[in-house]
């Protein structure tokens, strides 16, 4: 989780150290954000400590409006304006790597056993639910394991859920990547109404990148993306100080036409 873990057993932090590290990355929410509001659109105002800046990613679900140091984030199912990826980017999002091991026979077998339906969304929803059912082992904040290790041990935290889901998607020919950022929790480790460090999976559906969160059960407007990667821990080492300096100044739900299929909340 944001490069807390290690792959060498000798380099692992203790459980207490890992938990303290995660707690140091919690971002206080200015308000309680109800579940129903998170199923729609939320507009955030965020700020950093003086001297800190960040290149915010635009995604299919996150639109960034920067006016100097004043940053507004609009997050919903279709709020983002990310350009369509190039052919090279899609090829990269299909390739196996040391963490998203989509070429492993065990990953391919898992994906084939659980993917259902013809559309990308139907298959990804089924895979996300299958990953959630499979990962029954202990939560472990100390490591950042690859997809095969996650599949075999059934343990880890949100990063293992995300790389396993991304690997399953790629093994079936669906370009996938991993988003890293923060996600709202009504309660986390004894703290109420905070944003916790989090990772989830994004898949190209032919029109845009769509998010799936196997660890929390669904993607919603409580997810704020800070970095989009290929599933490896490369690029994550600089995220921790960014998260520690981040403040969520305001969060407002936006009423939308819930009769429109594009805005209708997914069924539980």
63-103: per-residue pLDDT in tens?
999 987 789 999 999 999 999 999 999 999 999 999 999 99
Residue (of 215, 235, 213, 239) closest to 226 by Cα position = 239
Is pLDDT at 23 greater than 70 in this prediction?
yes
Look at residue 12 in the predicted model and tell me its pLDDT: 77
E strands present in the chain: 27-28, 41-48, 62-67, 70-75, 176-188, 191-204, 209-212, 223-229, 246-254
Query: What pLDDT sits at residue 120?
Result: 97
Distance CA 102, CA 164 (A): 9
Lookup: tokens for 143: 């490591």
Q: How far apart, in whole angstroms, are the C-alpha atoms of residue 118 and residue 89?
A: 23
pLDDT exceeds 80 at position 11: no
Nearest in space to 130 (alpha carbons), one of 97, 154, 153: 154
Reply yes or no on whether the pLDDT at 265 is more than 50. Answer: no
pLDDT at site 209: 97
Q: What share of the chain is helix, strand, coil (3-state, %, to 5)?
A: 30, 25, 45
Residue 9 in this model has a pLDDT that exceeds 60: no
Cβ proximity of 195 and 29 under 8 Å = yes
Q: How many beta carbons lie within 10 A of that of residue 124, not counting itself?
A: 26
Is the predicted pLDDT of residue 263 greater than 80, yes or no? no
Q: How far apart are CA 215 and CA 87, in angstroms?
A: 30
Instruction: Write out pLDDT tens, residues 175-220.
Output: 999 999 999 999 998 899 999 999 999 999 999 999 999 999 999 9
Q: What sign results for the dihedral spanned by CA atoms 142, 148, 149, 153?
A: positive
What is the CATH number that goes with domain 26-83+94-254?
A: 3.10.620.30
* pLDDT class of 264 with cuts at 50, 70, 90: very low
| Res 256: pLDDT | 66
**What whole-number percentage of the chain has pLDDT above 70?**
91
Which among 235, 233, 238 is positioned nearest to 6, based on CA atoms? 233
Structural contact between residues 223 and 196, judged by C-beta atoms closer than 8 angstroms = no
Domain boundaries, the chain: 26-83+94-254
pLDDT of residue 6: 45
Query: Could you report the per-residue pLDDT of 125-184, keeping only the tens digit for each?
Result: 999 999 999 999 988 888 899 999 999 999 999 999 999 999 999 999 999 999 999 999
Residue-level pLDDT at 58: 97
Question: What is the per-residue DSSP string for 90-147?
Answer: HHHTTS--SSS-TTSHHHHHHHHHH--SSSHHHHHHHHHHHHHHH--S-B-SSB---H
- pLDDT at position 268 over 60: no
Q: Check: CB of residue 32 under 8 Å from CB of residue 193.
A: yes
CB 179 within 8 A of CB 190: no
Give the pLDDT score at 10: 45
Residue 134: which residues within 8 A CB-CB, separation 6 or more?
110, 151, 154, 164
pLDDT, position 53: 85
Write down the pLDDT at residue 189.
87
Instruction: Share the mean pLDDT of the chain.
Output: 90
């Amino acid at each position: 989780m944001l490069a807390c873990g290690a792959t060498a057993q000798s380099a692992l932090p203790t459980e207490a150290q890992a938990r303290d590290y995660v707690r140091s990355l919690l971002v206080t929410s200015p308000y309680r954000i109800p579940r129903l509001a998170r199923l729609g659109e939320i507009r955030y105002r965020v700020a950093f400590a003086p001297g800190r800046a960040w290149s915010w990613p635009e995604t299919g679900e996150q639109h960034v409006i920067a006016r100097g140091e004043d940053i507004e984030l609009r997050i919903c199912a279709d709020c983002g304006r990310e350009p369509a990826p190039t052919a090279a980017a899609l090829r990269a999002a299909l390739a196996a790597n040391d963490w998203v091991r989509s070429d492993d026979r065990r990953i391919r077998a898992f994906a084939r056993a659980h993917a259902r339906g013809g559309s990308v969304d139907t298959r990804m929803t089924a895979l996300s639910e299958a990953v959630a059912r499979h990962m029954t082992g202990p939560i472990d904040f100390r490591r950042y394991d690859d997809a095969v290790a996650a599949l075999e041990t059934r343990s880890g935290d949100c990063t293992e859920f995300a790389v396993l889901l991304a690997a399953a998607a790629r093994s079936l020919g669906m370009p996938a990547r991993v988003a890293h950022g923060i996600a709202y929790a009504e309660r986390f480790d004894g703290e109420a109404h905070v944003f916790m460090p989090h990772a989830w999976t994004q898949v190209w559906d032919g029109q845009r990148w769509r998010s799936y969160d196997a660890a929390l059960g669904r993607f919603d407007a409580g997810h704020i993306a800070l970095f989009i990667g290929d599933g490896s821990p490369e690029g994550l080492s600089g995220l921790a100080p960014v998260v520690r300096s981040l403040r969520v100044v305001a969060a407002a739900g936006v009423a939308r036409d819930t009769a429109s299929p594009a805005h209708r909340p997914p069924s539980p």
